[in-house]
Amino acid sequence: MKQPLGVILAGGQATRMGGGDKGMLTLGSQTILGHVVERLSPQVAGLALNANGDAARFEALNMPVLPDSIDGFAGPLAGVLAGLDWAAIQGADTIVTVAADTPFFPGDLVPQLLLASEGMVHPLVLAATPDAKRGTARHPTFGIWPVALRDDLRAALQSGLRKVVLWTQQHDAREAFFPHEQAFFNINTPQDLKIAEDML
């Protein structure tokens, strides 16, 4: 399989942070998004950012900015679809998505997703970690997605489907398990940002 393209999902509204682009907040010596780019770029064949609104605000990142093609903030799946449509133009088979507010995701994310997808006709795998209450927690913004299913996803979104796991289950998605409970710690609130500073 060809090396996947990477898509950073930043299409949310960041309401718990008071709105704006969470990824552009400073963490240590750079932005949260800077940490995400640094971690993902060595693992993929190319990078794009899924974000809505004026793309010029991300000019410094020097990468394609992909808006949702489904109106009304349809959630992460709309960002996945935007990424798959972009990847199709690039001639790629798959994309790997990560969230723009999760600066410490595993450095072996892509190899582990690829490993878990071996033998699948349509590689579709979500990251998962241990969870004290539920046993396993899935991280629906971290996964590998096949370009071949983009029209199926488009139809699902147009019919009103929003939940990532509902769609992935229809296609027998697998999980790639990461043993560290905090592997996908994400920054939702000012308090989380303080925790991230300590983790750094």
> Tell me: the pLDDT tens digits for 18-53?
557 889 999 999 999 999 999 999 999 999 999 998
Q: Which residues contact 39 (CB under 8 A, 6 or more apart)?
A: 98, 103, 104, 105, 107, 109
What's residue 13's pLDDT? 58
Of residues 102, 112, 107, the one with CA closest to residue 184:
102
pTM metric for this prediction: 0.95
Supply the CATH classification number for the domain 5-194: 3.90.550.10
Scored b (16 or more CB within 10 A) or e, 29-65 reads eebbbbbbbebbeebbbbbbbbbbeeeeebeebebbb
